[in-house]
Amino acid sequence: HQSNNMTETFKTEPETKEIAVVKTQATKALTAAQELEIKSPEQMTLATILLSKMKTVAKMIKERKETITRPLMEALNSSRDLFKPIEANLADAERVVKGKMLDYQQVIDAENEKKRLALAKKVETGYMKPETAVAKMEKIEDAPTTVQGSVGAITFRNVKKVRLAELGTLGGADLEYLAKTGLIEWSSSARMEALKGMKVPGAEVYEEKVVASRST
């Protein structure tokens, strides 16, 4: 009932007499301001009085507006507080699932790397012919980069990220360079420049595999 009451209040308030009064006063203030001419001390005094009246009307508008917006904001904050832990649980659940997917990918990648190294070792020792090793390597199945479910699909992709060193670990020349280029604050611009290929002392660009999911 509270929500419905607030909705009705929001709909009907603009039609109340009090709102109509301040609306009229604001319109009159605008007209007076547009017609105002200041060419004498007396007119300057009148302008001062006009501004004072505007301040009074502005205060009335603010107070009336807040009687409408305050309960709405309180309801909004209450709704956010209600859903925040629910959304956090869902975000954690998604993070856990994606983490396990990435763990599985890493296991497959590691196993395949061992197989390839073992085949290469056999070639080096003369235990296996190169063409035989190549044929076996071609049969090694890499971990899938996309997975399609009965509903939804996921894609594994590598994204470039930037790892920044602590400024205290950098030498004087590096710090001087960063100061000259405006990147000394380790701001987002420093990360962007590094991602673009610019050499930024103390910045290491690396790739990280992530899971992108979509619903179908």
Reported as a single tens digit per residue, the pLDDT across 16-34 is 777 888 888 899 999 999 9
Q: Which residue has the higher pLDDT, 41 or 188?
A: 41
Domain finish residue from 38, 63, 83: 83
Domain finish residue from 83, 118, 153: 83
Reported as a single tens digit per residue, the pLDDT across 140-160 is 988 888 888 888 888 988 888
Range of the domain at 156: 145-214
E strand or H helix at 8, and its extent?
Answer: helix 2-12
Q: 171 falls in which pLDDT band (50, 70, 90)? A: low
Instruction: State how far the alpha carbon of 159 is from the alpha carbons of 9, 144, 156, 208, in Å.
Output: 50, 17, 10, 5
Could you tell me if residue 133 is inside a domain? no
Residue 11 pLDDT: 47
Could you tell me if residue 118 is inside a domain? no
Reported as a single tens digit per residue, the pLDDT across 109-129 is 999 999 999 999 999 999 999
> In the numeric block, which tokens belong to residue 29?
């203030």
Could you tell me if residue 114 is inside a domain? no
Q: Is 167 exposed, middle or buried (0-12, 13-18, 19+ CB in 10 A)?
A: middle
- pTM of the shown model: 0.58
Tokens 């990147």 sit at which residue? 183
